[in-house]
Copies of this chain bind each other. A is one copy, B any other.
Amino acid sequence: MSTRKKASPSKPSAPASAAPSRRAPSAPKTSSMGLDEIKSLIALVGKEPFQEFEFEAGDMKFRIRKDSIHAPAPQVTYSPAQSATPFGSPVNHLMASAQPAPVQAAPLAAALSPVPLDEPGIHYITSPIVGTFYRSSNPSSPSFVNPGDVVRPGQTLCIVEAMKLMNEIESDISGEIIKVLVENGQPVEYGERLFAARVG
């Protein structure tokens, strides 16, 4: 799945430092240590110039990770097959948002998005092909799905037209559609997010 956020404002020239582990914090099962004590620990760590703090005692375990503006953008990860963003500031780039709102630079657009990116339990259905996105089989038909609809694997969600062929895009999960991410009739690229769904 492609996040489509290309250039982070800071130059990620040092991938080694840019790949922090991101684990969801374990739920604190309090035992030997009381809640107040944990709180005071957390407060202390917050004051210190730490990036990460892991703590384990008995069956209790917690981990703190700060993401300051100094820290590399969390969405940027590198795999060997992926190269670094070519040069830092995307000064020449604009990203047209799906909304008719004025065009927004990528990071800003992301910040304004009502759907939090990569939230646990949220699944994105992406386009397997390049083409034009249609929500219904023809202009007079109703949309295949709307936010709020519960979908099953294999259910048709939309059509991506390419080379005069109408390609039905099917759901790969069971869940509830919470947002349609592309406007009807708009072009989409490979890996582009079409729908956000809550799995379940």
Contact = CB atoms under 8 A, between A and B. Distances in A.
Interface of A: 13-17, 19, 33, 35, 37-46, 48-72
30 contacts: A13-B13, A13-B14, A14-B14, A14-B15, A16-B16, A16-B17, A17-B68, A33-B35, A35-B41, A38-B41, A41-B42, A45-B48, A45-B64, A46-B48, A48-B64, A50-B64, A50-B65, A50-B66, A51-B67, A52-B63, A52-B64, A52-B65, A53-B62, A54-B61, A55-B62, A56-B61, A56-B62, A57-B60, A57-B61, A66-B67
Please classify the interface of chain A as helix (H, G, I), strand (E, B), loop, or mixed, using the class held by over half of its residues.
mixed
* Total copies of this chain within the assembly: 2
Contacts of A69: 17, 70-72
Given A13-B14, A14-B14, A42-B45, 10 more contacts: A13-B13, A15-B17, A33-B35, A42-B44, A42-B48, A43-B48, A67-B70, A69-B70, A69-B72, A70-B70
